Structure 1
Amino acid sequence: MATTVEVLADAFKESGTNFIVGHPGGESVELMEAARQRDMRFILMKQEVAGAMMAATWGDITGAPGVCLSTRGPGAANMVNGVAHASLDRAPLIVLTDRYSTPEHETGLRQRIDHLAMMAPLVKWGTTLDARVVRTQVARAMRTTTAPAPGPVQFDIPQSETKKEAGELKMAPPLMPDAAYAEPDRAGLKRIKDKIDAASKPILLAGMGILWDRASDELVALAERLGAPVLTTSKVKGAIPEDHPLRAGCIIGGLIERKLVNEADLIITLGLDGIELQPKPWPYTLPVVALSNTMTLEALVPAEFEVLGNLKSLVHALAEDCVEGQGWGEPAAKTFRDDVVQALNTPSKGLSPQRAMEVCRAVLPRDTIATCDAGASRLLVVQKWQSYGPREFLTSNGLGSMGYAVPGALGARMAHPDRPVVAFTGDGGFMMAVAELQTAVREKLPITVVVLDDEEIGLIRIKQEIKGIGKYGVGIGGMDWESLARGFGAEGVTVHTENELQDALSKAKHTEQVTVIAAKIDGSGYVDQFNALREL
């Protein structure tokens, strides 16, 4: 008979996730042993929050839920930000928290936190593991975490349950039943088809639902059929290859994209999740129709009507049945891209962040997977780095958390062991996850980390300047990046010019070592860039 932890380990492996990440406690060791016996990998993280972000990124890319664990009390509390990332960035994640056995939990106070209550606002479902019904609990967890919109689920695991025999079921539910989506009824699509056919200048706004239903090819086919420009959210960069002539750019909630959108006569949203948008009212008066794989509840996008279903099937049907467009999209998309480039090309006294990104894109291979941290430099990375396939650009957008790029890159490397992975981060974000350099080295997960070093928390300095407040409390600086990297067993180099950056990147892409490239940049153009692109 299988024990509860053996049931868990078997389920994780069957779902496609052959590893667990985190920082264990005493109650975790039985689960770790069960994983070892099944040739599963355990990756010891230095911070629980980084473990959750790494596992969530694996879930993002593969669709199989990542698995992270922590000890009780302080470990679970420290993991909260990573769980919040999975929640607001819609990543399938199974969160395991150690817990005292019931008598100790009910009578003791030390290290006792109500983990379920703490995580409840962030998870789609949370429960206490019970050996008698663990098989049903696991099946429910797998379905809940992966169903649109994906997100985290939590198991609180009492010590007393780990080695108990798992209860048997006369007919155990399959972990992930095969889901067959019926072809959409063409008559049921007539209303949206008629609306699209009547538009002479439709524009497509693509969100994360396109990725959940693996509908990137269908998105491109619909855009080409309609001749419509495509704006994506930052999470969806690459769903339409960014050298495609109909790719306009990313939705950032700024003034610059309104010119393009307002030239259209119909907005078609595809899988757009309200969490992907800036927290401000919808700025357009144009008619909107929506295709979604789950009902939109937030009322942030004023769609005239919403068609629900599997987006791969829905978008494919429309790409076949809609009348061909009038071809306004390519020149409109090009004009928008040119406007963005012009807005970002601000004067610089040294290596500018925009030129650093252009050098990175020119040197690194086309199939590079990129992760991006929050901060002032994120605006430049989103606009200047080009991705050519879905899930090739990864960032914390819904949560917007600093400290994501490095653990995200480790998750990407696990998912793509044969592809180059680069993490773009500011100096502030990097310092929040610096200990995971040692994880990358120890676990043989070679990544390249490009630190855009402006010696400050740039986004807050920008806000101070825009509000007429003097710079205060945002300085960092003084890092010996090369010594820091070597201390963790990684390669390290500091660059000041485009040529030095190019040389460092060329060397890094030909090595299987973890490399930190600190690019000393001049961030004096940030305010002008933000004023041109985005409302603050």
Structure 2
Amino acid sequence: MKASDLFVKCLESEDVKYVFGIPGEETNDLVLSISGSKTIRFILVRHEQAAAFMADVYGRLTNKVGVCLATLGPGATNLATGVANSNMDRSPILAITGQTSTNQMHKESHQNMDPVIMFTPITKWTWSIRDAEGIPEIVRRAFKIALEEKKGAAHLELPVDVARMNSSNKPLNKKRKNSSDVSCHDLTEAAEMIISSNAPIVLVGNGCIRNRSSNAVRNLLDVTGIYSVNTFMGKGVISDNSVTHLGTIGIKESDYALRALRLADLVITIGYDLVEYSPQNWNSTIPMKRIIHFDFTTAETDNYYDPDLEISGNIELGINSLLKSLNSLKPGFRIQKSQREKTITTLKIFQSIKSEIENRIYKFKDDLSYPIKPEKLINDVRELLLSDDILISDVGAHKLWIAKIYKTFEPNTCIISNGFCSMGFALPGAIAAKLEFPSKGVVAMCGDGGFLMNVQELETAVRLEVPVIVIVWCDSDLGMISTKQSLELGKSVYTRFQNPDFVKLAESFGAIGYKVEKTEDFKQILQRAKSSTRKPVVIAIDIDASRNRLLFEMGDNAIG
């Protein structure tokens, strides 16, 4: 069997559904082999960075390895930002790059550079395949490493001469991995810490979404009545409609909900990742809080994050066992049943924080001023999307507004890149989401800066007949940078730019374009966009960027 055919057979064995990428001379053998697959669909994109972002979002939404492909040299370097993004956001992907023949790799040759060295710091594992016989083992290992906690990126280089070799080997069968249970002693100790606590709180992170632990976490909170908060990438693990959920934290200056975290005497972190939100923001006072760390892996080392108890293993199994330990030590335990004065006082404060956050979310629900206020825009979008529709946020000031204001009811329905935080993420990601979930509404929320970084993928969406909706927040400014410059340095510099006519731009690609001129027209236009069944829709709307200052206000002016 030709090596490139064997490689594709290995991808089929791993249940790969899509390969996102751009063909190149050194990947032609592999691409031709993919074209012969009955189960893998090649998705041609217009920039390799977009291919990596698509693989990233596919990995997040399916918990399977997303695959992207590029040629050598500039193709590989173009992949790098998207690969780094997936790795730091813990999304499982495999990046495949072509390479010149092995007899040329030791010297200067056309487009030759060493991508293995380049990808080393931004992947979990990278390897150059030098022998066709090793392909089954190497591909199996790449997928296994990408899916092991913490999930992330793997990279394989396939030189053109290796792709043309022959091999008698066959793909390795992937094996189902048994989830590791946790120590009964640790769970008993955790239960004792919770029962003795005056003001426990749960901090939920991205690990709960990656490992599909939402139901177990919700059950823990429903049974115990413990209040909770989530990180940006933990949105949806707990429904924002829960009466004991205080929403999203992650903007240290403006987290009104951070008051609750600072009042807590015990923080139970579940799937929490320090890359998202530094513990220094909520655990910098002396004495430091008691912490129970729940995750698949042990805690990172940090001066402000030194858990009293680390419980490593399957999150769902661990939480279910914790509930049994709680019931064994104190049947019917519920924090609201406590007669301790400090607990009663703290719970009243938590309730008032919840009420105030709700008020702030809906304060401008009926405001018709224009340019539209961020709060109003997000409320209108939430009102018109179903609970399981998918919103994907790009990176910029709008990301912070979405994290705080957009109510999320199910996991993986609000996708935010909050580790590497690369602009240009949302449009490619939305295309991948709509490909995988065609029956769901998919909205990309972009700033006018980030949207133009990967605007070429509108052609991809048009060609594939993927009717994603892109809402572009227009202020002709790099809003978050501009605001922070003004607040910290007294003025903003080099952040202003001019925008194209977004309607004409969308139409030039074959998409549908709208420009909202009045706030009261926005919902009607969005409703019209939802009716598109084959064409992507771009909606440009001017945003009241003056409100971005609230993102960095402290205390009573915090946004939620």
Pairwise same-fold verdict (TM > 0.5):
yes
Provide, for residues 184-235 of structure 1, a one-character-per-residue CA deviation record: whole Å limited to 9, x for no partner: 4534421111111212321000112212321110000111122111111111
Note if contact 1:199-1:266 (Cα within 8 Å) is conserved in structure 2: yes
Aligned-residue offset at 1:417: 1.7
CA distance change for structure 1 residues 104 and 370 in 2, over 3 Å: closer, same or farther?
Answer: same
Q: Would you say the 8 A contact 1:254–1:534 is kept in 2?
A: no
Shift of 1:183: 4.8
1:42 equivalenced with 2:51 (yes/no): no
Give the conservation status (yes or no) of the 8 Å contact 2:267–2:291: yes
Q: Secondary structure at the match of 1:106?
A: coil
Counterpart in the other structure of 1:381: 402
- 1:28 touches 1:71 (CA, 8 Å); kept in 2? yes
Which whole-Å deviations, capped at 9, do the CAs of 1:476-507 have from their partners, x for residues lacking one?
23421110100111111011333211011111
Q: Give the C-alpha shift of residue 150 in structure 1.
A: 0.6
Instruction: Output aligned runs, 1:310-459, within 5 Å.
Output: 310-322=314-326, 323=330, 324-327=333-336, 334-340=351-357, 350-459=371-480
- In structure 2, the partner of 1:207 is 205
Other structure's SS at 1:120 match: helix
Equivalent position amino acid for 2:537 in 1: T
Aligned length: 531
- SS for the counterpart of 2:455 is coil
1:27 counterpart residue number: 26
The structural deviation recorded for 1:321 is: 3.1
Q: Is the 8 A contact 2:387 2:410 kept in 1?
A: no
Percent of counterpart pairs with the same letter? 27
Q: Give the C-alpha shift of residue 337 in structure 1.
A: 4.1
Q: Which residue of 1 aligns with 2:546?
A: 524
Shift of 1:278: 4.0
CA distance in 2, matches of 1:279, 1:197: 24
Q: Is the 8 A contact 1:3 1:165 kept in 2?
A: yes
The equivalent residue for 1:116 is: 116
C-alpha displacement of 1:325: 2.0
The CA distance in 2 between the partners of 1:472 and 1:23, in whole Å, is: 37
8 Å CA contact 2:249, 2:404 repeated in 1:
no
Which moved further from structure 2: 387-396 or 447-456?
387-396
Distance (whole Å) between structure 2 residues aligned to residue 505 and residue 174 of structure 1: 46
| Alpha-carbon spacing, 1:135–1:107, altered in 2? closer, same or farther (3 Å) | same
Match of 1:186 in 2: 184
Distance in 1, matches of 2:501 and 2:228, equals: 43
SS in 1 for 2:216: helix
- The match for 2:339 is none
Aligned to 1:4: 3
User: Which of residues 244, 247, 250 in structure 2 aligns to 1:249?
Assistant: 247
For 1:308, which of 304, 312, 315 is the aligned residue?
A: 312
Partner of residue 76, structure 2: 76
Matches within 5 A, 1:85-124: 85-124=85-124
2:522 to 490, 501, 520: 501
Deviates more, 1:340-349 or 1:318-327: 340-349
- Distance across 2 between alignment mates of 1:487 and 1:115: 36
1:378-435 superposed Cα distances (whole Å, 9 cap, x missing partner): 1111111122211111121101111111111112112212111001110000010100
Contact 2:69 2:96 in 1 (8 A): yes
Candidates 491, 494, 497, aligned match of 1:473: 494
2:420 is paired with a residue whose SS is coil
Gaps of 5+ in 2: 337-343
Would the aligned equivalents of 1:253 and 1:534 in 2 still touch at CA under 8 Å? no
When residues 499 and 91 of structure 1 are mapped into structure 2, their CA distance, relative to the original with a 3 A threshold, is same
What is the CA deviation profile of residues 158-201 of structure 1, one whole-angstrom value per residue up to 9, with x for unaligned ones? 001112223537xx7433x1122355453442111111121232
Match of 2:158 in 1: 157
Q: Give the aligned partner of residue 126 of structure 1.
A: 126
Deviation at 1:470, TM superposition (A): 2.7
- Cα distance, 1:334 vs. partner? 5.0
Cα deviation, 1:500-529, whole Å, max 9, x if unaligned, reads: 110111111122121001111111111133
Distance 1:414 1:349 in 2: 35
Contact 1:88 1:399 in 2 (8 A): yes
C-alpha separation in 1, matches of 2:214 and 2:440? 20
CA distance in 2, matches of 1:450, 1:189: 46
Alpha-carbon separation, structure 2, partners of 1:389 and 1:330: 25
Moved more, 271-280 or 152-161: 271-280
- Aligned counterpart, 1:168: 169
- CA 332–140 in structure 1, closer or farther in 2 if over 3 Å, else same: farther
Tell me how far 1:136 sits from its aligned partner: 0.7
d(CA) in 2 for partners of 1:120, 1:189: 37
Extract unaligned runs of 5+ from structure 1.
none
Q: Relative to structure 1, is the Cα distance of residues 505 and 332 closer, same or farther in structure 2, using a 3 angstrom cutoff? A: farther
Residue 287 of structure 1 pairs with residue 285 of structure 2? no
- Supply the distance in 2 between the matched residues of 1:372 and 1:292 (Cα, whole angstroms): 26
- More moved, 234-243 vs 257-266: 257-266
State the AA in 1 paired with 2:411: P
Determine the C-alpha separation between the residues in 1 that align with 2:168 and 2:154.
21
* TM-score, scaled to structure 2: 0.90
Which whole-Å CA distance do the structure 2 matches of 1:62 and 1:92 have between them? 10
More displaced 10-residue stretch of structure 1: 36-45 or 393-402: 36-45
Choose 470-479 or 140-149, whichever is displaced more. Answer: 470-479
| Residue of structure 1 in register with 2:341 after alignment | none
**Alignment deviations for residues 317-342 of structure 1 (CA, whole Å, 9 cap, x no partner):** 11333242223798655533444456
- Cα 1:50–1:334 shift into 2, 3 Å: farther
Amino acid at match of 1:452: W
CA distance in 1, matches of 2:490, 2:264: 39
Q: Which amino acid aligns with 2:553?
A: N
Measure, in 2, the Cα distance between the counterparts of 1:264 and 1:407.
40
Q: Whole-Å Cα distance in 2 between the matches of residues 234 and 333 of structure 1? A: 20
Question: SS where residue 525 of structure 1 aligns?
Answer: helix
1:272-329 CA distance string (max 9 Å, x none): 1111114856435221111110122332522112011110100111133324222379
**Separation in structure 2 between the aligned mates of residue 427 and residue 531 of structure 1, nearest angstrom:** 24
For residues 65-113 of structure 1, the C-alpha deviation after alignment (integer angstroms, 9 at most, x for no partner) is 1111111111111111001101110110101111001112223333111
| Coordinate RMSD, CA, aligned | 2.2
Distance 1:296 1:207, change over 3 A: same
Q: Is the 8 A contact 1:135 1:167 kept in 2?
A: no
Q: Which moved more, 1:183-192 or 1:87-96?
A: 183-192
238-247 or 305-314, larger mean C-alpha shift: 238-247
Amino acid at match of 2:290: P
Tell me how far 1:472 sits from its aligned partner. 2.6
